[in-house]
Chains A and B, each alone.
Chain A
Amino acid sequence: MNDKAQVAEEESSGFYTKHKKVYPREVHGLFATLRVLGVFTLLGMYYVVPWLYWNGHQAVLFDLPARRFYIFGLTFWPQDFFYLAVLLIIAALSLFYFTALAGRLWCGYACPQTVWTEVFLWIERKIEGDRNKQIKLDKSPLTKTKFYRKGLKHFIWIAFSLWTGFTFVGYFTPILELGQSLVQFALGPWEWFWIIFYSFATYGNSGWMREQVCIYMCPYARFQSAMFDKDTLIISYDDKRGEPRGARKKSIDPAEKGLGACVDCTLCKQVCPTGIDIRDGLQYQCIGCAACIDVCNEVMDKMGYERNLIKYTTQNAIDGNKSSILRPRIIIYSVILIAITVALIYSMATRIPLELDIIRDRNALYRTTSTGMIENIYTLKIANMDTVVHRYKIDMTSDFNAKLIMRSEEIIVEPGQSATYSARVEADPANVKKISQDIHFTLVASDDESLKVEETGVFIGSGL
């Protein structure tokens, strides 16, 4: 496209702009090391966990058709979704807490978008070379080498993405069976769909979209400003010290020339994964990755200047005010976060893997027996959420001397199963003073007294 056409194109669509590719330069330093650590920890967990086994089953498996969710020694049922809700609340509160504390820590070190993009960038650098070589390669006409390099890059990206998609589905379908079906080309349509979909999303987001996901698509980027305050750690350029910026020889004294500490090398712009200039101040595009801090410190070291021209600081510190990390917002978030986490752990530790549901028959209000007694019929659903078979005893107490009669003497429920039993509760109408009253069932495992649940049912009588 020639320049004239380019201009005409931009004129014609004022609301839309052609995407300019960002080529982030490789960076080393404290924060880059932390991010690599994050990548290895998080992706390591992601790719390794589905291959772990625990007591003969896949350690982490979300079996959707059977509605069983295995996480190491714990088996969750749909009725445990409450825990997921609490977990999500903890996740949201952690996000608020860490954002208030140090800005976009999540974005810079832990977000899947950042973490996978980091891997894709590494592959790209290995094949196409550093930033300058990448730019040159993109500008050059299509040669055999270019075709080969680009082709190899996309091939490796796609292979890595497919492995990612396969791993993802491996959390929902036992990964060994999934592997076998894949080799035999015998996957179900949904397994195909999700492997391909997740792979495509990985390839597209980490290979092509990159910073555009953060800038245009991510809602967190847009509402984070509501969680910042003047004591939140942000990445900031010290313009009092840096300005006026300018190139200079290492040997000269900048003060003599009237220059600040910034040598205007533009490396901070080159390493930025979202392509911004941190020297323009805090911007919504900044994902807080601290790559500019690392690279600027390197330059400062080389120049023999003091480090931290770009650094983690707070708005109050920049303005010369007193800045405090421990402020009410942080303390309140911490207290709530700790309280909910402790409550969740306590609740999971004391969770009883047994459930009793009492469903009263509604075909008749009550039944009168030939001996003149009043009967109510109940369906008892007993779910053994434990991993071993149990034998249970059931008891019923009431204020009106009712009697529980069950056809089967024994209640045995296989692990991970629920069983249905019907029960009759019989009472002498002389004792039934109310139309409706509560009766109390107690279900306890004969072999383990700690497996005990109590449930209340309703008994309906004539109330005469």
Chain B
Amino acid sequence: MSSNWSLYIIIITVVNVLAIFWIIRWTTKKRPGEVTQGDVTGHKWDDDLQEYNNPLPRWWLWLFYITIVFTAIYLALYPGLGNIAGKFGWSQSTQYEAEMAQAREKYGPIFAGYAKQPIEDLAKDAKAMASGQRLFLNYCATCHGSDAGGAIGFPNLTDNNWLYGGEPAQIKTSILDGRNGVMPPMGAGLPPEKLDAITAYVLSLSGREADPAKVEAGKPLYTELTCVGCHGPDGKGNSTAGFPNLTDDVWLYGGSPGQIKETLTKGRFGKMPAHREFLGEEKAHLLTAYVYSLSNK
């Protein structure tokens, strides 16, 4: 808030408080011509409905003054007068910080305790896994699905089929530091018959049905387009370096001929975001155990 606005608000607030004080004083005073207590005021709405001057008790008046005193105390302690923070220095962010600190104090030791246990043991601890599942549903399920079965572009975490390795340490690295999987658009600009051929060949690697003539035509293309460089001569890729195995019929971006062609011509850019800053080591440890437990019963 700029200082002009702040000043403006301070003035409005103070003037309001003073005006309220004045209006209470003003209405309390008896003016000439006013009826005495218990008499009719002379206001008449219909034949027999009329207003009496039935006074309020004196303490009621004090309630008004007490609210004014409350205002003064409140404004001295809490923010309200423009930019003036108040004696307590309260703000939404300090409140948030305080509550977060409270939560860390309460739940921190639980996660710290889990972090000391080896992941293989933790994966068998039902209580830890219930807590891991809650973390997973909060932080991971948006992409990987609540059953961790993945979706197009988001790996299935339950099939023991890994791009960056399924050992505890490798899973933990994936969570903490993230992963970037890039498939360059190697097939961009290929004439349709060549695209058909390489697609047929890729399908055949997984043992899927494909036109043998096209498979035959696609085989040299596999080397020619440098697919071999990453996916290897046998198409098995590298299950720890992020190069998908093309022979296992598991398709991150879909296994239909159309989807394979799209992968070839447009490339794929997979990104697992890093969670080190966001989650911290201890929570990531528990999540690793949960993910590990999904394929290591």
| Separation of A419 and B151 alpha carbons in the complex (Å) | 24
| Separation of A379 and B144 alpha carbons in the complex (Å) | 13
| Separation of A370 and B254 alpha carbons in the complex (Å) | 8
Cβ contact within 8 Å between B151 and A367:
yes
Q: Which of A10, A17, A378 contacts B56 (CB 8 A)?
A: A17
Give the interface segment out of A45-53, A159-167, A344-352, A420-428. Answer: A420-428
Shortest Cβ gap from B60 to chain A (Å) = 7
A13 with B61, Cβ < 8 A, contacts A363-B151, A364-B152 known: yes
Beyond the given pairs A14-B37, A375-B149, 20 more chain A to chain B contacts, judged by CB atoms under 8 angstroms and listed by A's residue number, are A13-B55, A14-B36, A14-B53, A15-B30, A15-B53, A15-B55, A16-B56, A16-B57, A16-B58, A16-B61, A17-B37, A18-B57, A18-B58, A19-B59, A364-B152, A367-B152, A377-B147, A407-B158, A420-B134, A422-B147
Q: Within residues 71 to 108 of chain B, which ones have a CB less than 8 A from any CB in chain A?
A: none
Query: Inter-chain contact count A-B, CB under 8 Å?
Result: 92
Shortest Cβ gap from B167 to chain A (Å) = 22
| Separation of A441 and B13 alpha carbons in the complex (Å) | 58
Give the interface segment out of B135-143, B223-231, B265-273. Answer: B135-143
Residues of B within 8 A of A41 (CB): none
Interface mask (A347-382 → B, CB under 8 Å = 1, otherwise 0): 000000000000101011001101000010111000
| Separation of A364 and B143 alpha carbons in the complex (Å) | 8
Q: Which of A10, A19, A363 contacts B141 (CB 8 A)?
A: A363
A420 with B133, Cβ < 8 A, contacts A12-B30, A13-B28, A367-B151 known: yes
The 10 A-B pairs at the shortest CB distance, nearest first, are namely A14-B30, A364-B151, A422-B147, A17-B55, A379-B146, A19-B57, A422-B146, A16-B58, A377-B145, A16-B61
Chain A minimum-CB-distance residue to B36: A14
| Separation of A375 and B145 alpha carbons in the complex (Å) | 11
B255 close to A (CB within 8 Å): yes
Cβ contact within 8 Å between B55 and A361:
no
24 interchain pairs, CB-CB under 8 A: A10-B37, A11-B30, A12-B30, A13-B58, A14-B34, A15-B27, A16-B56, A17-B37, A17-B57, A17-B58, A18-B57, A18-B58, A19-B59, A361-B141, A363-B141, A363-B142, A377-B146, A377-B147, A379-B137, A407-B147, A407-B158, A420-B133, A420-B134, A424-B147
B116 close to A (CB within 8 Å): no
A54 close to B (CB within 8 Å): no
| Separation of A184 and B235 alpha carbons in the complex (Å) | 72
| Separation of A379 and B147 alpha carbons in the complex (Å) | 8
Chain B minimum-CB-distance residue to A378: B146
B251 close to A (CB within 8 Å): yes
Q: Within residues 117 to 174 of chain B, which ones have a CB less than 8 A from any CB in chain A?
A: 130, 133-134, 137, 141-152, 154, 158
A216 close to B (CB within 8 Å): yes
Q: Which of A13, A216, A363, A368 contacts B143 (CB 8 A)?
A: A363
| Separation of A16 and B62 alpha carbons in the complex (Å) | 10
Residues of B within 8 A of A113 (CB): none
B29 close to A (CB within 8 Å): yes
Shortest Cβ gap from B91 to chain A (Å) = 20
Shortest Cβ gap from A266 to chain B (Å) = 20
Residues of A within 8 A of B147 (CB): 361, 377, 407, 422-424
A316 close to B (CB within 8 Å): no
| Separation of A370 and B27 alpha carbons in the complex (Å) | 82
B249 close to A (CB within 8 Å): yes
| Separation of A379 and B37 alpha carbons in the complex (Å) | 69
Chain B minimum-CB-distance residue to A362: B142
Shortest Cβ gap from B287 to chain A (Å) = 16
Chain B minimum-CB-distance residue to A407: B147
B17 close to A (CB within 8 Å): no
B279 close to A (CB within 8 Å): no
A334 close to B (CB within 8 Å): no
Chain A minimum-CB-distance residue to B294: A407
A363 with B27, Cβ < 8 A, contacts A16-B58, A16-B60, A379-B137 known: no
Residues of B within 8 A of A17 (CB): 37, 55-58
A456 close to B (CB within 8 Å): no
With an 8 Å Cβ cutoff, the count of chain A residues facing the other chain is: 29
A370 with B137, Cβ < 8 A, contacts A16-B58, A17-B58, A19-B59 known: no
B250 close to A (CB within 8 Å): yes
| Separation of A360 and B121 alpha carbons in the complex (Å) | 32
Instruction: Tell me the B residues contacting A by CB distance below 8 Å.
Output: 27-30, 34, 36-37, 53, 55-61, 130, 133-134, 137, 141-152, 154, 158, 249-251, 254-255
Cβ contact within 8 Å between B56 and A12:
no
Cβ contact within 8 Å between A212 and B57:
yes
For B29, B144, B146, B255, the residue with the greatest tally of chain A CB atoms inside 10 Å of its CB is B146
Cβ contact within 8 Å between A420 and B30:
no
Cβ contact within 8 Å between A216 and B57:
yes
Cβ contact within 8 Å between B149 and A367:
yes
Chain A minimum-CB-distance residue to B144: A363
Cβ contact within 8 Å between A361 and B56:
no
Shortest Cβ gap from A382 to chain B (Å) = 13
A19 with B58, Cβ < 8 A, contacts A363-B142, A368-B254 known: yes
| Separation of A14 and B33 alpha carbons in the complex (Å) | 12
| Separation of A13 and B27 alpha carbons in the complex (Å) | 9
| Separation of A419 and B137 alpha carbons in the complex (Å) | 13
| Separation of A422 and B137 alpha carbons in the complex (Å) | 10
Chain B minimum-CB-distance residue to A369: B149
Shortest Cβ gap from B48 to chain A (Å) = 14
| Separation of A212 and B150 alpha carbons in the complex (Å) | 67
Residues of A within 8 A of B145 (CB): 361, 363-364, 367, 377, 422
| Separation of A370 and B149 alpha carbons in the complex (Å) | 12
Shortest Cβ gap from B140 to chain A (Å) = 10
| Separation of A44 and B28 alpha carbons in the complex (Å) | 45
Shortest Cβ gap from B155 to chain A (Å) = 12
Residues of B within 8 A of A368 (CB): 152, 254
Chain A minimum-CB-distance residue to B134: A420
Interface mask (A1-32 → B, CB under 8 Å = 1, otherwise 0): 00000000011111111110000000000000
Residues of A within 8 A of B60 (CB): 16, 216
| Separation of A102 and B131 alpha carbons in the complex (Å) | 59
Chain A minimum-CB-distance residue to B259: A368
| Separation of A15 and B60 alpha carbons in the complex (Å) | 10
Residues of B within 8 A of A407 (CB): 147, 158
Chain B minimum-CB-distance residue to A19: B57
For A16, A364, A375, the residue with the greatest tally of chain B CB atoms inside 10 Å of its CB is A16
| Separation of A18 and B249 alpha carbons in the complex (Å) | 91
Shortest Cβ gap from A368 to chain B (Å) = 7
Cβ contact within 8 Å between A424 and B149:
yes
Cβ contact within 8 Å between B149 and A14:
no
Residues of A within 8 A of B148 (CB): 422
Residues of A within 8 A of B37 (CB): 10, 14, 17
| Separation of A419 and B142 alpha carbons in the complex (Å) | 19
Shortest Cβ gap from B72 to chain A (Å) = 22
Cβ contact within 8 Å between B56 and A363:
no
Cβ contact within 8 Å between B28 and A16:
yes
